Amino acid sequence: MPEVIFPLDSSKPFTDQKLTGHNRWHPDIPAVATLKRGESYRIDCREWFDGAIVNDDSADDIRDAPLNKVHALSGPFRIEGAEPGDLLIVDILDVGPIPQEEGPLAGQGWGYTGIFAQKNGGSFLVDQFPDAYKAVWDFRGGECTSRHIPGVKFTGMVHPGLMGTAPSAELLKKWNKREGDLIATDPHRVPPLALPPEPDSAILGSLTGTEFDRVAGEAARTAPPRENGGNQDIKNFTQGSRVFYPVYVSGGHLSMGDLHFSQGDGEITFCGGIEMSGFIDIHVDVIKGGMDAYGVTENAIFMPGRNGPVYSEWLAFSGTSVTLEGEQRYLDSQLAYQRAILHAIDYLAKFGWSKEQAYLLLGAAPIEGRFSGVVDIPNSCATVYLPTEIFDVDIRPSANGPAQVDPGMGAPRAMNPG
């Protein structure tokens, strides 16, 4: 096993650990350790809410999830020899739940998926699903099942939802300016158009005093993906992947976290992957001058691993850029993907699952989402592919009609969601 460079004790909060990570992006957050080029390391990672979500049959914790606290990131790590303009090479050697542990922390044999309430971030289908719901998944080997969504079992596609390098001061200023300008167009929107810097609940490594206050007032939230990588939620960052990150500050300052046992394309419920704590083993190296040499001046490029689940039979649904009210939109691929997912939800509901159960499943299972046609004015076409092998019943259309499943207790809904 590689050296554990960032250990976490499952019985302690993220801020009470031997090393303190962070939950904001800023170039002045001190590195917790130095990684040598050409070496491999194990990094423990905490579930993104640091244990605020529990293994029960209520979604009140999803409704009240403390968004100001996310993400609980391991790092930043200084990479020996990395300088602005280089490309950082990160090989994902292994990634998984907390080894050999069972307990109350997500990652100790279980994980969760949540539909976020409109007032707390919302989801991809927030207009159709404005309230909070939750599903808990139990891990057995590489597979998972849920008491909240009976009748399905699938192999996990384990990956880090978030990994990236620190922004330069100039890049950080650019982020805050453009996102602030967007917020100003509709400052009272629910959910908000973007998340501005927020000192409340900021975790900034070893910073204290006036320096902490300064950085907390400037640091960017970790919710969106940006030029540095960040919260991209790419389910194909599996074991065996190689990622090339732009380097903007001396040492690169690599951070990671937000591990998922599985996820469908888009993480469509916002808390859409099966969230968990766990570990990731990485190997690091540097391509000197790689940003200019390969034209990778922003946003990572990557080579996906070959270790995802192998499903060979699919049922696919398509959608176009026409609203539910029948309004035509011009080549709106985002809308087309929403419509494809809604079609899949309506279809699965015919088999006995509630629409909330179907939505949670599509956020957690390794569905494939694709923009299939983006040039045929006025309609974009998007498609979503469901692996048919994950279902206990045959979901393919037939003359016999939809087989009926027992939906069990259903997906818990938050009490008093309004």
**Residue 31 confidence (pLDDT) above 70:** yes
Residue 100 region, left (φ>0) first, then alpha (ψ -120 to 50), else beta? left
- pLDDT, tens digit, for every residue of 185-202? 999 999 999 999 999 999
Q: Say whether 67 sits in a helix, a strand or coil.
A: helix
**Residue 418 confidence (pLDDT) above 90:** no
Could you tell me if 81 and 89 are in contact, meaning their C-beta atoms sit under 8 angstroms apart? no
* The token pair that represents 190 in the structure block: 């629910």
Q: How far apart are CA 158 and CA 95, in angstroms?
A: 7
* Mean pLDDT within 289-309: 94
- The radius of gyration computed from the CA coordinates of the chain, to the nearest angstrom, equals 21
Name which of 56-65, 85-94, 307-316 the model is least confident about. Answer: 307-316
* Mean pLDDT within 53-81: 97
Q: What is the pTM of this model?
A: 0.96
Residue ranges of domains in the chain, CATH in brackets: 3-303 (2.60.120.580)
| Confidence label for 407 from pLDDT (cuts 50, 70 and 90) | very high
Q: Could you tell me whether strands 33-35 and 74-79 are parallel, antiparallel, or unpaired per DSSP bridges?
A: parallel
Question: 167: which DSSP letter?
Answer: P
Could you tell me if 68 and 20 are in contact, meaning their C-beta atoms sit under 8 angstroms apart? no
- pLDDT, tens digit, for every residue of 216-259? 999 999 999 999 999 999 999 999 999 999 999 999 999 999 99
